[in-house]
Amino acid sequence: MKIVDAKVIVTAPGRNFVTLKITTDEGLHGIGDATLNGRELAVAAYLNDHLIPCLIGRDAHQIEDIWQYLYKGAYWRGGPVTMSAIAAVDTALWDIKAKAAGLPLYQLLGGRSRSGVMVYGHANGRDIEETADEVDRFIELGYKAVRAQCGIPGLASTYGVSSDKLFYEPADADLPSENLWSTERYLDQVPKLFERLRSRFGFEPHLLHDAHHRLTPIEAARLGQSLEPYRLFWLEDSVPAENQEAWRTIRQHTVTPLAVGEIFNTVWQCRTLIEQELIDYVRTTVVHAGGITHLRRIATLADLHHVRTGCHGATDLSPVCMGAALHFDIWVPNFGIQEYMRHTPETDAVFPHDYRFDSGYLLPGETPGHGVDIDESLAAKYPYQRAYLPVNRLLDGTLTSW
Ligand code: KDG
Ligand code: MG
């Protein structure tokens, strides 16, 4: 089955998405997500200028060989642009293979390991009470797990808090907006938030929190300790992880479970964290880590070390990524949880899909492939709109991690 056409579709039904569509001489097509928030056109150009010319005429069934060809064959390995582009090709080819077999994708991975994929939603508010009311809303919607973020007194804005509650979108401006940050104020506020949430909701709902790369290891250790009474499902991205060994400090000081990995692209970026059992959940997902083919390798290594999966699922990952991730999640033996920020109705209309939410779980459908498609004529009505993630400064103006 030969690849006869591949094209990149950029569309912005409220936010930008990049999608690769591959067509074969047997008339089958598959799609893959290639969205990299704030750097979308770099991946589109990488696909158009460098990968697509190498794909035409290849056997669409040779997923592994094509993956190796694009990864090793480039000489320049890894990085978010390269790996998102490879992921798009890989996801589209898995979609095609499953369609050719007449099976939902999870059957090709090894079949179901569970009946549904537990997901967590995003509750946020300007203060503790508003966040608590939002957690309540998610529990009412049936969620078993909720991530909670809240405003910090004295800071005008902070990561994870938005006016648009269900559809939070971080890429919020034509050029990067600037936020101000104070770790001291944050470390005072977060334990109060979770104390309130546990006193209002008890210990039944799973609660999660994302520190979004803003702390040092010893600050993260202190936060982890102060959150221990509230038994979080995980504390995410407390410290940037370029220096994987640095996570040992956090690990030695707290039993709060640790998650990291949404910005990783390869297994090499989490190898030490996994092999030395410094984390509990790896957040890498299909689109930014080389597709199903490479994500599966990360999960297999993680399984040897008691690390479970917790795929990134923010709204900047398209429904195509979510659909593929759900097939991965329903199969992967060491599944932990799946993030699920709802897409807007406009986005869902551009990407018709067969997955559905039921009582805190997402359920992949039984359609052959990964179950997500793109309505190209609708997509064409939403042209690309430049949008950036914010940048972050300390109170004295020093640029810091966002
Ligand atoms: O584009 C950046 C977002 O995907 C990221 O800020 C979301 O941290 C995030 C999360 O946990 O969903
Ligand atoms: Mg995160």
Distance between Cα 246 and ligand 2 center (Å): 19
Contact, 323 vs 343, CB < 8 A? Answer: no
Residue pLDDT, tens place only, 8-17: 999 999 999 9
Could you give the angle at which helices 291-304 and 80-101 cross, rounded to 10 degrees?
100
Contact, 153 vs 189, CB < 8 A? Answer: yes
Pairing of strands 361-363, 391-394: unpaired
Beta carbons within 10 angstroms of residue 222's beta carbon: 17
H, E, C per residue of 39-91: CHHHHHHHHHHHHHHHHCCCECCCHHHHHHHHHCCCCCCCCHHHHHHHHHHHH
Distance between Cα 210 and ligand 1 center (Å): 9
Is pTM beyond 0.75 here?
Answer: yes
Query: What is the DSSP secondary-structure string of 189-255?
Result: HHHHHHHHHHHHHTTSSEEEEE-TT-S-HHHHHHHHHHHGGG--SEEE--S--SSGGGHHHHHHH--
pLDDT beyond 90 at 163: no
CATH code (residue 51): 3.30.390.10
Which residue minimizes the CA distance to atom 3 of ligand 1?
314
Does 212 participate in catalysis according to the annotation? yes
User: Residue 220 CA to chain centroid, in angstroms?
Assistant: 22
CATH code (residue 361): 3.20.20.120
Instruction: Write phi, then psi, for 201 (nearest 5 degrees).
Output: -110, -5
pLDDT beyond 80 at 166: no
100 and 126 together in one domain: no
Return d(Cα 301, Cα 306) in angstroms, integer: 9
Selected catalytic residue, list 46, 143, 159, 340? 159
Residue pLDDT, tens place only, 379-394: 999 999 999 999 999 9
Starting from the CA of residue 236, give the closest ligand.
2
In a domain, 387, yes or no: no
Q: Which amino acid type is present at position 149?
A: Q
Pairing of strands 356-358, 361-363: antiparallel
Q: What is the CA angle 206-161-120, rounded to 5?
A: 25
pLDDT beyond 90 at 169: no
CA-315 nearest atom, ligand 1: 4
In a domain, 151, yes or no: yes
From 37, 169, 262, give the residue whose CB has the most ligand 1 atoms within 8 Å, as the site to mutate: 262
Choose the final residue of a domain: 40, 70, 104.
Answer: 104
pLDDT of residue 24: 98
Mean pLDDT computed over 95-117: 98
From 161, 312, 391, give the residue whose CB has the most ligand 1 atoms within 8 Å, as the site to mutate: 312
Q: Please, which residues bridge with residue 392 across strands?
A: 179, 400
122 and 98 together in one domain: no
pLDDT of residue 300: 98
pLDDT of residue 167: 75
Residues with CB under 6 A from ligand 1: 37, 170, 210, 212, 262, 312, 314, 316, 339, 389
Residue pLDDT, tens place only, 20-66: 999 999 999 999 999 999 999 999 999 999 999 999 999 999 999 99
Which residue minimizes the CA distance to atom 6 of ligand 1?
170
Report how many domains make up the chain.
Answer: 2
Return d(Cα 237, Cα 209) in angstroms, integer: 9
Query: What is the domain range of residue 278?
Result: 109-368
In a domain, 240, yes or no: yes
In a domain, 394, yes or no: no
In a domain, 384, yes or no: no
From 147, 210, 318, 402, give the residue whose CB has the most ligand 1 atoms within 8 Å, as the site to mutate: 210
Tokens of 41: 């056109």
50 and 74 together in one domain: yes
Selected catalytic residue, list 29, 122, 206, 212? 212
Residue pLDDT, tens place only, 58-94: 999 999 999 999 999 999 999 999 999 999 999 999 9
Starting from the CA of residue 261, give the closest ligand.
2
pLDDT of residue 164: 78
Contact, 366 vs 354, CB < 8 A? Answer: yes
Return d(Cα 203, Cα 377) in angstroms, integer: 47
Q: Tell me if residue 150 falls in helix, strand or coil.
A: strand
pLDDT of residue 162: 86
90 and 113 together in one domain: no
